Amino acid sequence: MTESNNNWEYAPSLEGTSHIQLKEKYDLFIDGKWVKPSNNRYFDTINPSNEEKLAEIAWASDADVDLAVKAARKAYVEVWSKMKASERAKYIFRIARLMQEHARELAVIETLDGGKPIRESRDIDVPLACNHFFYYAGWADKLQDAFPNRMIQSLGVAGQIIPWNFPLLMAAWKIAPALAAGNTVVLKPAETTSLTALKLAEIIEQSGLPAGVVNIITGHGDTGAAIVNHPDIDKIAFTGSTAVGKLIQKSVIVTAKRVSLELGGKSANIILEDAPIDQAVEGIVNGIFFNQGHVCCAGSRLYVQESIAEEVVRKLKQRMQSLYVGNPLDKNTDVGAINSKEQLSTIEKYINIGINEGADMFQVECEIPSKGFYCRPTIFTNVAQSSVISQEEIFGPVLTIQTFRTIDEVIQKANNSPYGLAAGVWTDKGSRIFNLTSKLRAGVIWANTYNKFDPASPFGGYKESGFGREGGLHGLEAYLK
Amino acid sequence: MNILKTYKIYINGQFPRTESGRTYVVNDAEGNPIANVCQSSKKDIRNAVQAARKAFGSWSERSAFNRGQILYRIAEMLEGRKAQFLEELTQQGQSLETAKDEIQLCIDRIVYYAGWCDKYQQILSSVNPVNSSHFNFSMAEPTGVVGILAEQSTGLIGFVSQLMPVIAGGNSVVLIASEQLPLCAITFAEVLETSDLPAGVVNILTGSADEMLPTLAEHMDVNALFLSNVDAEMEKNTQLSAIDNLKRVIVKNDDWTKEDAQGISYISSFQEIKTTWHPIEQIGGATSSY
């Protein structure tokens, strides 16, 4: 087989944007109404694929956060906690349906605002987000069945802070179980990706959900801090970096707030010598280049058994050459734009560290657009276990590759990390899969697959990757007494 | 003349003295000395954590049935040494009646958790009906090395109620005994040592909680902490020290002498949920109804 058939060019196939409706300016969604921020501050949200401004977003102050929490408390006490559970379920079902009806618009906005390939927003993010509401809707009137022999009770007002890598999906992961369990919500999306959460607010408005049950407020880190520190919030749910997670944990220690944290990772993807190699190569690519590597459970540490390392690396490089890096709205695109300038410089910093540490770098040779934030898919070989690039979360399309000889060795190396979010195992032998999957200290293990998600499937980490689960029956636990 | 027994600590299945060489005297209710007890140090904590980490892998991989057998064996051994525990509890100020009750409750509680070993998994696990061709299931796995600060107000039932659900779930333990009522903890270590419990699964230290707890709470190889009825200040400081590696900190303010101060939630507090995805092959046209 020839090394590359790069000369083949696909004709551009751009997803249309004519059907989407964006306002020039977005206010805060509080108590069922659109409210201007108290100090009249707004910030721009841009399209990371071309740096063009998309809209202005309200920057909520402490006073706005207080207003949202008050609305959520009032809605909790007066409406939501009193409502018959089956009625609560119907509202959540209705939100799911409305999201499905808006699926195409949501997918395009997700791609415009966040930079991820339209193929992913359309086929993964948006359907999973809809399904998450659909899944949890049905739990609302079955909670006692989920926890027999226990008097279950909702918590009250949940403050929820979500990251920029799966904006709408993370909003769904947070809001759907909270509502099903009978709580009301104040949710803050990340500052670079507020738009789909605000679209969700419009959908919620349309759904007729009682005012104040879901409040969506936008802003930067100070807005998030105001949520974390608000005295009338009963529960903080956070997805983001381990560093911020630790800060949150610190601020809530002396309070009665409950916390669930879904934090960083440096997940091991392990290829054993009997693995189906071509499938494994696809799994490696999906593990690290899915969503530009902006995935907390990305398979960013690759461990390949020594006997097949050369072949795997050769095939991986060859496969990487066929990745399309570019306009996220193009349906051919595999790797879109890096979410922000800031994140791009973080990734570039790590790439330089890798080079300086003496690892061997390989990058896809491809054109990247002159405007916007892009990073070529990158792998490092000859990486030491102790090196910075194999220890720290990069959150970009950068893979480290190490080899191993025995299964004991790879288990030890894979577990030698403060994180414990996910891991992948590739082998043809069933008993070997279960040997590895039971010894890897991580909350999600993919055997002969990677980066699969489902509303019914509990997700969350061991060790410094956080605590609490999202998804499935176990995901209800975080929102119930 | 009575011989004053020196109570040593329990690390990695052995009974060393504290490496610090310090002891303190435990008195009976009238103030007469009854024993010398080790005043353990930070170094002892570190040694104990190391032993617990080493023991964790094989203990967590024991079959649930086997762990149940060993826990039941602990109850049997305690039954056989009732007299010694009775003497220690009464020496430390308890009436014969309450001491007897406490020991009986301990035995019952150990048997109760012995029975849980091969049952909690079925209650905490799930098979998840995902919308793709995968077999997907979630199950409980032990959190790892658990630091326990024993209930300080009781000599036996408190720490036994804390310890049993944690080891029933496959964790290994470093336990700081009650400072004022430490005798039964060390005698209990002798029970453990003769119960087929592998070395290092439970390590027991005596001494000052104020001195040792911060070291345990800061230790980067401890995964969870279990406190019982501590004051707000100690709880806060422990929580703060635990942040660095995001230890799970469980605080229970139970009256452990109550019969209902037990249950699966004490086990599940020290479990992590692991979800595993496995593809299901879809080839050929055959359906299950052919």
**Domain containing residue A244:** 25-263+465-479
For residue A320, being part of any structural domain is answered with yes
**Domain containing residue B36:** 5-279
Alpha carbon distance A426, A448 (integer Å)? 5
Give the pLDDT confidence score for residue A102 in this predicted structure.
97
Give the Cβ contact number of residue A305 at 10 Å.
22
DSSP-assigned states of every residue in A317-356: HHHHHT--BS-TTBTT-SB---S-HHHHHHHHHHHHHHHH
- CB atoms B132 and A443 under 8 Å: no
Tally of structural domains, chain B: 1
Residue B262 has pLDDT above 90, yes or no: yes
Chain A CB within 8 Å of residue B123 CB = no
CATH number at residue A279: 3.40.309.10
With contacts defined as CB-CB under 8 Å, which chain A residues touch B239? 253
Give the pLDDT confidence score for residue B286 in this predicted structure.
59
Q: Is residue A449 domain-shared with residue A473, that is, in the same domain?
A: no
With contacts defined as CB-CB under 8 Å, which chain A residues touch B63? none
Contacts of A287 (CB under 8 A, 6+ apart): A267, A269, A298, A299, A300, A302, A424, A450, A451
Name the residue facing A462 among B136, B272, B276 (closest C-beta). B272
Residue B91 has pLDDT above 70, yes or no: yes
pLDDT grade, residue B5 (50/70/90)? confident
Pairing type for strands A462-463 and A258-262 reads unpaired
Q: Is residue A300 domain-shared with residue A365, that is, in the same domain?
A: yes
Contacts of B83 (CB under 8 A, 6+ apart): none
Alpha carbon distance A434, A448 (integer Å)? 12
Q: Is residue A105 domain-shared with residue A118, that is, in the same domain?
A: yes
Give the pLDDT confidence score for residue A343 in this predicted structure.
98
Pairing type for strands A235-239 and A258-262 reads parallel
Q: Look at the block and give the residue holding tokens 């069933």.
A: A430
- CB atoms B275 and A459 under 8 Å: yes
Which residues is A53 bridged to in the sheet?
A46
Q: Is residue A280 domain-shared with residue A222, that is, in the same domain?
A: no
Give the pLDDT confidence score for residue B28 in this predicted structure.
87
The whole-chain average pLDDT of chain B stands at: 95
Q: In 3-state terms, what secondary structure has residue B283?
A: coil
Please say if A296 is a catalytic residue.
yes
CA distance B186 to chain A (A): 31
Residue B3 has pLDDT above 80, yes or no: no
Q: What tokens does A274 get?
A: 């009997």
| pLDDT tens digits, B113-167 | 999 999 999 999 999 999 999 999 999 999 999 999 999 999 999 999 999 999 9
Give the pLDDT confidence score for residue A2 in this predicted structure.
44
For residue A10, being part of any structural domain is answered with no
Name the percent of chain B lying above pLDDT 70: 96
What is the four-CA torsion angle of B94, B98, B100, B105, rounded to 10 degrees? -120
Active-site hit among A15, A105, A191, A262: A262
Using an 8 Å Cβ cutoff, are B250 and B265 in contact? no
* Residues of chain A under the 70 pLDDT cut: 1-8
Whether pTM exceeds 0.90: yes
Radius of gyration of the CA atoms of chain A, in A: 22
For residue B289, being part of any structural domain is answered with no
Alpha carbon distance A454, B193 (integer Å)? 46
pLDDT grade, residue B98 (50/70/90)? very high
> Which chain B residue lies closest to A262 (C-alpha atoms)?
B246
Alpha carbon distance A37, A62 (integer Å)? 10
For residue B286, being part of any structural domain is answered with no
Q: Look at the block and give the residue holding tokens 């005994």.
A: B177
Alpha carbon distance B47, B52 (integer Å)? 9
Q: Is residue A345 domain-shared with residue A306, that is, in the same domain?
A: yes
Cα dist from B193 to A193, B189, B205, whole Å: 58, 6, 15
pLDDT grade, residue B289 (50/70/90)? low
Alpha carbon distance A32, A136 (integer Å)? 22
Alpha carbon distance A429, A107 (integer Å)? 39
Query: Average pLDDT, stretch B222-240?
Result: 96
Residue B258 has pLDDT above 70, yes or no: yes
Task: State the complex-level ipTM.
Answer: 0.94
For residue A12, being part of any structural domain is answered with no
Q: In 3-state terms, what secondary structure has residue B207?
A: coil
Q: Is residue A140 domain-shared with residue A249, that is, in the same domain?
A: yes
- Top pLDDT among A1 and B35 is at B35
Q: Is residue A55 domain-shared with residue A201, that is, in the same domain?
A: yes
Q: Is residue A272 domain-shared with residue A253, that is, in the same domain?
A: no
With contacts defined as CB-CB under 8 Å, which chain A residues touch B223? 463
Q: Is residue A256 domain-shared with residue A272, that is, in the same domain?
A: no
Residue type at A425 in one-letter notation: V
For residue B287, being part of any structural domain is answered with no
The closest of A414, A409, A476, A469 to A444, measured between CA atoms, is: A469
> Which chain B residue lies closest to A445 (C-alpha atoms)?
B276
| pLDDT tens digits, A171-228 | 999 999 999 999 999 999 999 999 999 999 999 999 999 999 999 999 999 999 999 9
CATH number at residue A103: 3.40.605.10
> Which chain A residue lies closest to B243 (C-alpha atoms)?
A246
CA distance B188 to chain A (A): 31
- Residue A373 region by backbone torsions, left for phi larger than 0, else alpha for psi between -120 and 50, else beta: beta
Name the residue facing A457 among B136, B144, B223 (closest C-beta). B136
Using an 8 Å Cβ cutoff, are A412 and A436 in contact? no
- CB atoms A447 and B129 under 8 Å: no
CATH number at residue B64: 3.40.605.10
Alpha carbon distance B47, B184 (integer Å)? 22
CA distance B78 to chain A (A): 31
- CB atoms B136 and A449 under 8 Å: no
Q: Is residue A237 domain-shared with residue A299, that is, in the same domain?
A: no
- CB atoms A253 and B236 under 8 Å: yes
For residue A299, being part of any structural domain is answered with yes
Contacts of A370 (CB under 8 A, 6+ apart): none
- CB atoms A466 and B243 under 8 Å: no
Tally of structural domains, chain A: 2
Chain A CB within 8 Å of residue B131 CB = yes
Q: Is residue A245 domain-shared with residue A321, that is, in the same domain?
A: no
The closest of B143, B127, B123 to B277, measured between CA atoms, is: B127
Which of B121, B128, B271 to mutate to probe the A interface, most A CBs <10 Å? B128
With contacts defined as CB-CB under 8 Å, which chain B residues touch A242? 246
SS3 content of chain B, % helix, strand, coil (to 5): 45, 20, 35
Give the pLDDT confidence score for residue A321 in this predicted structure.
95
Q: Is residue A357 domain-shared with residue A403, that is, in the same domain?
A: yes
